[in-house]
Each structure stands twice: as C-alpha cells, then as structure tokens.
Amino acid sequence: MRLNAYLARAGVASRRRADELIKAGRVRVNGEPGRLNTFVAAGDRVEVDGREVSAQPLAYYLLHKPAGVVTTVRDPQGRPTVVQLVPAQPRVVPVGRLDADTTGALLLTNDGALAHRLAHPRYGVEKVYEAEVEGDPDEKALRRLRDGVELDDGRTAPARARRLGPGRVELVLHEGRKHQVKRMLAAVGHPVLRLHRSGYAGLELGGLPPGAWRPLRAEEVARLRTLVGSAARGDRRTTA
C-alpha cells in the first residue's frame, strides 16, 4: 500500500494532506524518512512525528443523508457534516457529494482505491434521483432530459427520465457534474424544489430513515468492486 494511502487508512489525514506530511519529513517507515513513492508492507513500522500509527480496518457505510448536513469531513462555517452521523472510528470520508439541501443515499468509506474509482467519470456509476419540481414536465421535457441537455459546461450524456406523478420526476444519471440534476431540470423549464437520491451504484436506502446509516454487506462491497474493476489491497479486514 502506498504510504499516503496507509496514512489515510490510519486516520491521520487525507491523501493530499498525507503527501504534505511526507514531504515535510514528518513520516518515517522502519526508521527511515518516508517518501511519496514509499510502499508499506505487512510488518512495517510507520511513525508520524515519532508516534506509531497503523492502518484501520476497511469500513463501508451507506448513509441516508438528511437535509441541512454538508458532505464534507469538516465545515469552516460550523454546519453539521455527514461524518458526524457515522462512527468516528475507523475514519471514513464521503464518496462524491450531495448538496446541503439534497437528501438520500451517500456512501462513506476508507477504501481509497474503491472510492476513487466510484467517483471517477470513466466508470459511469449509476445515480438515481427523485425530484419535486415547479410545474409538471411533459413528454417533450422528459425527451430532452433523455437525449441530453445543453449546459454551460457542455451537453449532458443521455439519461433515463420518467414522470413519477404531478411535479415529480425520476432521473437516472451516469455523470456527476456539479449541481447537474438541478441544472438539467432548470434547463427544461422545471426548477427543482426538492431533490432526493434514492440509489447510488446499485445501493438503495430501503427503510433507512434520514440521518441513519448501515454497514454494507460483504456481497454489496464485492459488487461495488466488480462494478469498477477494483480489488482490495493490503489489509483485507473489514467492518462490512
């Protein structure tokens, strides 16, 4: 496991911050200064500022994110964050983002390799959204959503779209642009009033209430890895 990933798994810092610690000479592996290309093997001793640290077991949590909670590890404005709703140890981070006012399925994990692939556009991970909108979209509006909508950062990929009821639409996307659902629906004349993500990468909330979480089952983790062609590396212990 690369040293920055090991430090992230140990709950020391994010990978980016871990790189800064390594470059500052604050990390040692088996008594020698760590480097950005250092790999940590089983039995290696890793120290940060003279204190030994160890990688934590892999953890995967599905959270029903409530409104008013931000999808970050910490917030300068002091707003509640999603990591405050799940166990503090092992340290996990959210995969991707949901706006503060958006509710629904959010995955949190310390499996950096899997999280990176799930969030990467090339893998086209499926996201299912249910939106309450102004007005009542007709078939023409739905067809525009399915064919792709021209936005200021380019045309969106085709999406699945269907009407759930008066003023309610389901959108299934394989992209992850910032505020994409809101921008798409505004572009077809139906601004979003409320937005909920009911599914992510095949994971569904079921009866999980807002603010609650559950660990992923082993078969769900395996399915995610198969989805993006990722395999667990290093310590295979897991809380799933």
Catalytic sites, residue numbers: 99
Closest CA to 104 of 53, 69, 139, 156: 69
DSSP SS3 for 112: helix
Of the candidates 3, 111, 112, the residue with the CA atom closest to the CA atom of residue 53: 3
Residues 6+ apart with CB under 8 A from 182: 99, 191, 192, 195
Is residue 236 exposed (0-12), middle (13-18) or buried (19+ Cβ within 10 Å)? exposed
Whether 63 and 86 have beta carbons less than 8 Å apart is answered as yes
Q: Is 96 exposed, middle or buried (0-12, 13-18, 19+ CB in 10 A)?
A: middle
Q: Which helix (H) or strand (E) holds 186?
A: helix 180-187
